[in-house]
Amino acid sequence: MNEKIVKPSILPGFMELTPMDQILFNRMKDTIRRNYEKFGFLPIDTPIIEKSEVLLAKGGGETEKQIYKVVKGNTDMSLRFDLTVPLARYVAQYYSDLTFPFRRYHIGKVYRGERNQKGRFREFYQADIDIIGNGTLSIINDAEIPSVIYSTFKDLGFDSFTIRINNRKVLKGFFRNLGIEDSTMILRSVDKLGKIGIENVRSELSEFDLSEDVINQILEFISIKGSNGEIVNNLKSLNIEDEIFIEGVNELEVVSRYIGMFGVPEENYQIDLTISRGLDYYTGTVYETFLNDYPSIGSVCSGGRYDDLATYYTTQKLPGVGISIGLTRLFYQLREANIIESKDNSLTKVVIIPMEGYMDYAIEALNSLRKANIYSQVYFEDGKTGKKFKFANNLNIPYTIAIGKDEVDNNKYTLKNMITGEQSLLSIEEVIDKLK
Amino acid sequence: MNEKIVKPSILPGFMELTPMDQILFNRMKDTIRRNYEKFGFLPIDTPIIEKSEVLLAKGGGETEKQIYKVVKGNTDMSLRFDLTVPLARYVAQYYSDLTFPFRRYHIGKVYRGERNQKGRFREFYQADIDIIGNGTLSIINDAEIPSVIYSTFKDLGFDSFTIRINNRKVLKGFFRNLGIEDSTMILRSVDKLGKIGIENVRSELSEFDLSEDVINQILEFISIKGSNGEIVNNLKSLNIEDEIFIEGVNELEVVSRYIGMFGVPEENYQIDLTISRGLDYYTGTVYETFLNDYPSIGSVCSGGRYDDLATYYTTQKLPGVGISIGLTRLFYQLREANIIESKDNSLTKVVIIPMEGYMDYAIEALNSLRKANIYSQVYFEDGKTGKKFKFANNLNIPYTIAIGKDEVDNNKYTLKNMITGEQSLLSIEEVIDKLK
């Protein structure tokens, strides 16, 4: 025995699951991947470690403070903190080998040294898709993205969710028309409308250097409600002649019409003029997705359109549109809300339990089941029968097959449904029929 | 435009694939995963960063020199260098929540600061399975592992491969019987038999302090050849009375008999007394797997039985048996040997190419195809028709559907087979039938 035992533990802020929860997590990840692939997105898998000068080319801000540096030799290296910067580097690096529009998905771990708090993770999965154009990219792409979100969240088992859509050009043009060039702070207040209500937004806005009239126009603007068609008409009727505004409204109109054509039901998407997305690189369409029964979870899938993906790595103009699902956080929140339950989470369908001396018969049955592609295993260990059935129970394995003298004499197997307790003596063909 | 462009590049020793190669890589990874799951192995996914004191509990050796340290705050952290240490930590940490025997698989990236050379990677995927017993673990498990290897490599498309099997107890007992307690250096020479031949092994052995008679006995021992049954009989007829030797021969006999029972054909496994596996923690059965048509690739899947998995983290005795596939290296080598070709590697089955003004019809067709679960996409961008077909060609997408005036007037679609060039005018139902 070893004298020096190290306490087995992981770092704070890292998620680690039991195998049974891991199966559920993987199922979510697989569902997302399947949908991304179905819509024509190609996989990439970039290194988790990159040169710091590449990852931090943009530099500054929270990112730099949260980054994990990696030490080995003299190269300045870091762990990636998102999948967008590696995408930008990738597209710039392999530009001449790629076929545009380049649809790529990437599901992988990223690292951020966030302050340690419940529900915040320092290592987490992002599941991203982006469509990158070479020079230009049709606005129709912006309309297809919500259909990927819709298909994915449907397949994840959600019915009631809303994809909220806006266009940064509408906001930019509207504020420019009011004489406001930098609307960052205002947008931050406006974004809180749903949470704090109109009067609180008004009092926040009154702290900026804005006239009463301007404040009223802003509040009126963000109060525009109605069907998607009504909102577009309402925006048009404002008769704002700012070019960017007009372009934004046109885009919003095209996008919202085509989203419907791509099969997303009207109740699942909604123009929302208060959505602006914090990240400053979005330049057109923006998306946020909310589970209507769990509003406190916040947006579960966000993204938007950007003018130029890889400005730090190439002079090529690469406009794009994309979204990201924060998978680790989403799983955590769904589990906290008891939406994810640990059942139906066995990959194995049946455990074969041989009585002493019947191992060879058990393996014979195992071979037949596996040949029929029924996921099965034999409990090989010695021990009491009760313990063996408990093995199946603990792992939520739905069936057991007992093999002993009676079974061998009759060339039959005792198949037990571990949920109902029901037992029956069946031939191997009958077992396969039943479990298929 | 940005004045400061950072050259887009990755660190040396890291593998990054084109999307088309990534599809092939993922297919391999999925095949391995499916096989692991079919045999009852449960998934785990541990953090890539762990406390250095945990990862380096064993300490010393190459490992410590190759490790990537991670810097953020004051905690001493590192990147995992294999999946075995995290498994040991995991099993010790969640011991009371796990159900034994614990079958787990883990496919994930690990990091080693190896010297930079062709075919060596600093970030690479390992695909591991292990079966961990609580106190004891039946020898039958050792016999089932080769059937996982067999099933996996068959599914990966290989027919001619040999799983070489040995037992460390046989070696240990044999050498102890010769009065040699530490056989490490001798085993290193013996292991080279296949490469350097018997006479070179003899001359290497003559440099140790061994009598002529002992050297002859060693050479005779490692020259034992024949069917698995013949080798076992040959070992028995040596009449060596060392207890460990006898135990080892018995294990080898049981394991080789049961491997056949688990459905592995005799031509795919072979007892090989020269196999010893470098790692010192193997204590019984050991495996190496070779592709017979590509011997220079070396072992593509290795592993074995160990007495105690988690001695550094718990006083619980946890014997186990497992194997590992070095997926990144394997993929690299197969590609270098031209075994992996970039064809049949499109996930998308068909690209719809609308002529100008026919976008809405294209999206309608897209919806029908996707509803039938045919992976499809529309080429949305403006441009010359030739460029649009080239998009499908570049991405190896096997079919295109053209939509223009003729097609809309006839309510039919021109389906083109991009490989044969064959075209036909079909209704959407006929298209779906053809592509399903």
CB atoms within 10 A of CB B8: 21
Same domain, yes or no: A377 and A336: no
Mean pLDDT of all residues in B308-331: 96
Q: Which residues in chain B touch residue A315, judged by CB atoms under 8 angstroms apart?
A: 1-2, 5
Q: Is residue A266 part of a domain?
A: yes
Measured between CA atoms, the residue of chain A closest to residue B80 is: A10
User: Which of A22, A137, A348 has the CB atom closest to B44's CB atom?
Assistant: A22
Distance CA B273, CA A321 (A): 59
Along chain A (436 residues), what's the average pLDDT of each consecutive run of 10 residues? 81 96 97 98 98 90 88 92 97 98 98 88 97 98 98 95 97 94 85 87 91 94 94 96 97 98 97 84 95 92 96 96 97 89 90 96 97 97 95 97 94 96 96 96
Mean pLDDT on B228-239: 96
Stated as kind and residue range, the H or E segment containing A109 is: strand A102-111
At B1 the pLDDT is 45
Contacts of A9 in chain B (CB under 8 A): 51, 54, 89, 93
Q: Buried (b) or exposed (e) across B204-214, using 16+ Cβ within 10 A? A: bbeeeebeeeb
Q: Are residues A73 and A117 in the same domain?
A: yes
Task: List all residues of chain A from 239 to 258 with a beta carbon under 8 Å from chain B.
Answer: 258
Within an 8 Å CB–CB cutoff, is residue A22 touching chain B? yes
Interface check A81 vs B, CB under 8 A: no
Which residues of A fall within a CB distance of 8 Å from B318? none
Listed in sequence order, the DSSP H helices in B9-104 are 19-38, 52-55, 61-66, 84-93
Size of interface A-B (CB pairs under 8 A): 256
The enclosing domain of A364 has a CATH number of: 3.40.50.800
Within a domain: A199: yes
Are B378 and B334 members of one domain?
Answer: no
Task: Indicate whether A30 and A105 sit together in one domain.
Answer: yes
Residues B16 and B156 in one domain: yes
- In-domain check, residue B281: no
Task: Please give the Cα distance from B300 to B392 (Å, whole number).
Answer: 35
Q: Which residues lie below 8 Å from residue A137, measured CB to CB, with a gap of 6+?
A: A101, A131, A319, A320, A321, B381
Per-residue pLDDT, A35:
98
B377 lies within 8 A of chain A by CB? yes
A72 vs B72: CB contact, 8 Å cut-off?
no
Pick B183 or B93 by higher pLDDT: B93
Q: Final residue of a domain: which of B264, B284, B309?
A: B264
Q: Are residues A340 and A355 in the same domain?
A: no
Residue of B nearest to A43 (CA): B19
Mean pLDDT of B356-377: 96
Report yes or no on B279 lying in a domain: no
Q: Say what the pLDDT of residue A279 is.
A: 63
Strands B350-354 and B399-403: parallel
Residues 1-20 of chain B with CB under 8 A from chain A are 1-2, 4-11, 14-20
Rounded distance between C-alpha atoms, residue A359 and residue A382, angstroms: 11
Cβ <8 Å between A347 and B42 = yes
Does B82 appear as a known binding residue?
A: yes
For residue A14, the chain B residues in CB contact (below 8 A) are: 47, 49
Do residues A127 and A76 both lie within one domain? yes
Residues A19 and A133 in one domain: yes
pLDDT at B340: 83
pLDDT of residue A3: 59
Read off the pLDDT of residues B108-153 as tens digits, 9 standing for 90 and up.
Answer: 999 999 888 888 899 999 999 999 999 999 999 999 999 999 999 9
Model confidence pLDDT, tens digit, residues B334-366:
998 888 877 789 999 999 999 999 999 999 999
* B380 vs A75, A140, A367: nearest CB: A140
How far is the C-alpha of B305 from the C-alpha of B316, rounded, in Å?
17
Alpha-carbon span A146 to A263, nearest angstrom:
10
Residue A382 to residue B46, Cβ atoms within 8 A: no
User: Chain B contacts of A53, Cβ < 8 Å?
Assistant: 6
Domain count within chain B: 3
The pLDDT assigned to A365 comes to 97
Residue A178 belongs to a domain: yes
The CATH number of whichever domain residue A254 belongs to comes to 3.30.930.10
Are A38 and B391 within 8 A, CB to CB?
Answer: no
8 Å CB contact between A275 and A233: no
Residue among B10, B34, B129 with most chain A CBs within 10 A, to mutate: B10
Flag whether B272 is marked binding: no
Nearest to A43 among B23, B49, B89 (CB): B23
Same domain? A128 vs A38: yes
The Cα-based distances of A149 to A31, A165, A281, A308, B376 in angstroms read: 12, 12, 21, 23, 16
Q: Measuring CA to CA, which residue among B285, B336, B329 is closest to residue B307?
A: B285
Residues with Cβ within 8 Å of residue A23, at least 6 apart in sequence = A345, A346, A347, B42, B43
Domain span holding position B228: 166-264
User: B315 and B373: one domain?
Assistant: no
Q: DSSP code of A321?
A: E
- In this complex, do B363 and A79 lie within 8 Å of one another by their Cβ atoms? no
Q: Which positions in chain A touch B103 (Cβ < 8 Å)? A: 377
Q: What pLDDT does A304 receive?
A: 97
Q: Is position B7 within any domain?
A: no
End position of a domain, from candidates B326, B345, B364: B345
Give mean pLDDT, residues B301-330: 96
- CB distance A9–B141 less than 8 Å? no
Alpha-carbon gap, residue A418 to A122, rounded angstroms: 39
Chain A interface test: which of B2, B50, B51 (most A C-beta within 10 Å): B2
pLDDT of B155 higher than 50: yes
Q: Does A148 fall in a domain? A: no
Domain assignment present for A301? no
B122 annotated as belonging to a binding site for a ligand: no
pLDDT at position A340: 83
* CA atoms in the 13 A half-sphere facing the CB of B324: 18
A250 & A265 share domain: yes
Q: What is the pLDDT of residue B279?
A: 63
At B3, the pLDDT band (50, 70, 90 cuts) reads low
Q: Is B327 annotated as a binding residue?
A: no
User: Taking the mean position of all CA atoms in its chain, how far away is CA B128?
Assistant: 7
Question: Is there a binding annotation on residue A18?
Answer: no
Same domain, B310 and B204: no
Q: Point out the residue among A10, A54, A382 whose CB comes nearest to the CB of B8.
A: A54
Chain B residues closer than 8 Å to A370 by CB? 38-39
